[in-house]
Amino acid sequence: MDILICPVCGKKLGFSGKTYVCPERHSFDISKSGYVNLLLSKHIGRTVHGDNKLMLQARRSFLEKGYYSPLREELCGMVQRNFRSGVILDAGCGEGYYTSAIYGQLEQSEIAAEIYGIDISKIAVEMAAKRRNNITYAAASVFHIPVEDSSCSMIVTLFAPYCGEEFRRILAPDGMMIMAIPSENHLWEMKRAIYDIPYKNQVKPYELEGFRLEEKKRISYRITLESQEDIQSLFSMTPYYYRTAASQKERLSLLDRLETMADFELLAYRVDRK
């Protein structure tokens, strides 16, 4: 079932050949890579959003080496436990590492699902679409999601911006949201290597308006990075990359080995329409 809507007028998009078209004749072509750009300039803002190509390539390389595979496995298990049928949307899908894993898990378990992935970075969804699995990818903002009201059985949001109003709009009345967040000790040793006075992550209260928490799981383990390449790849995936002084970044560049904590929380919420 097609759930995409026109980002211009909000009417349902139909698919014809290699083009999405709405009743008002706004059209959006499928790229050669296999994704559709539904991101309007007014939804982007004045600054560049989303990871650039070098950062995304570093992220893909890091993830494909399996450093976060325990998180991916727990995520896939949580999705399978809570999903019955319908549509799953990965809001902030990046280059598709977790999205494609969810697809593979459900396909292997013979659970029918239509899976969509959106990201504000066109480079990210291009990389995701090149994985060539049966997932619909679109460049779009999580604050202006171009899908119909109540059309999704589940939303997955992993380390991405949270927009509760939009998420509640697109979820079915009994829909689920699975969220991954960094926990208290995530990358603690890396922060100690960079900063004079490092701080542990502050985990916010779990309560979210319009949702009720049904399941939570903490995934904590140690990872050992044996090369400067992997250390820099990990660092570039974090928000610290943008707000760390050059002198502090230099400290990390001197390391050829780093052992640090990977510490995540997976949270499963159900829509609460009371």
The residue extents of the domains of the chain are 14-271
pLDDT tens sequence across 34-83: 999 999 987 665 444 567 888 899 899 999 999 999 999 999 999 999 99
Compute the average pLDDT of residues 164-187.
97
Find out whether 136 and 231 touch, Cβ atoms under 8 Å.
Answer: no
pLDDT at 7: 97
Predicted local distance difference test score (pLDDT) of residue 48? 46
* DSSP β-ladder status, 171-182 and 258-271: antiparallel
Mean pLDDT of the 148-172 span: 97
- Taking only the tens place, the pLDDT of each residue in 69-118 is 999 999 999 999 999 999 999 999 999 999 999 999 999 999 999 999 99
Length in residues, the chain: 274
Residues 95/59, Cβ–Cβ less than 8 Å: yes
Q: Write down the pLDDT at residue 45.
A: 58
Report the SS3 class of residue 67: coil
Q: What's the CATH architecture for 14-271? A: 3-Layer(aba) Sandwich (3.40)
Q: How confident is the model at residue 212 (pLDDT cuts 50, 70, 90)?
A: very high
pLDDT at 49: 53
pLDDT at 190 over 80: yes
Give the pLDDT score at 224: 98
